Amino acid sequence: MNETLKTIAERYSCRDFTGTPVTDGQIKALVEAAAAAPSAQNRMPWHVIVINDKVLIEQLDGEGMRILAAAENKNSYERIISRGGKMFYHAPCMIIATSDGSTFSMIDCGILIQNVALAAHSLGLGNVICGMARVLFSGDEGEERKKRLNFPDGHGFGISILVGEAKCGKEPHALDMNKVTIVNRQPPVI
């Protein structure tokens, strides 16, 4: 199996980080993987924000948990509480792909973050794609957070990923080939 397919097969969603800082070299590699992502019409409708400040991530975690605790639907809050009570799992680094809101921007941001996820795993870093961070960037408080984190004007939250040294490994999810349909070209009937 080639290295790319091996990385894809072995990557898992890490939800337990040691808190050890991600190095500058690792961040450089992850940012370059993000910048290499393809996008519709090469518009690159994103901006990448790297938060490599564990104190700030913990502060955002607390703010996010407060928002989830106050929400009418408590499912997400209760699930996070059952997993240790930390929305960002003690990750020392968060990478956010902001979106300009254009037609294909959410797909393009997803592609970018998948590049980062695979690059992180190939570097030996645990990672988990985190859409839950979205709750931090809505309403008046969300606008203030966007300013604090230097979101470009007109950009909203696209998707994020948490990265760091994993406390322990985990098996990737089982492949469900029932979710796959292959349509083969049929030979012409003569």
Q: Is residue 143 part of a domain?
A: yes
Check which CATH number belongs to the domain holding 165 and give it. Answer: 3.40.109.10
Residue 172 predicted with pLDDT over 90: no
Q: Is residue 84 part of a domain?
A: yes
Report how many domains make up the chain: 1
Q: Is residue 112 part of a domain?
A: yes
Q: Is residue 186 part of a domain?
A: no
Q: Which residues of 52-75 are buried (b: 16+ CB within 10 A; e: fewer)?
A: bebeebbebbebbbebbeeeeeee
Residue 114 predicted with pLDDT over 80: yes
Q: What is the largest CA-CA distance in the chain?
A: 70
> Which amino acid is located at 47 in the chain?
H
pLDDT at 173: 86
Q: Which of 105-119, 124-138, 161-175 has the lowest mean pLDDT?
A: 161-175
Q: Is residue 80 part of a domain?
A: yes
Q: Tell me the backbone φ, ψ of residue 160, rounded to 5 degrees.
A: -135, 170
Q: Is residue 121 part of a domain?
A: yes
Q: Is residue 133 part of a domain?
A: yes
Number of neighbours of residue 114 by Cβ within 10 angstroms: 17
Contact 122, 7 (CB under 8 A): yes
The reported pTM is 0.93
Q: What angle do CA 38, 114, 121 make, to 5 degrees?
A: 130
pLDDT at 188: 76
> Which amino acid is located at 69 in the chain?
A
Q: Is residue 188 part of a domain?
A: no
Helix (H) or strand (E) holding 143: helix 139-148
Whole-number Cα distances in Å, 38 to 50, 79, 105, 158: 19, 34, 11, 16
Domain of 147 in residue numbering reads as 3-179
For 37, residues 6+ apart whose C-beta sits below 8 A from its C-beta are 108, 111, 112, 114, 115
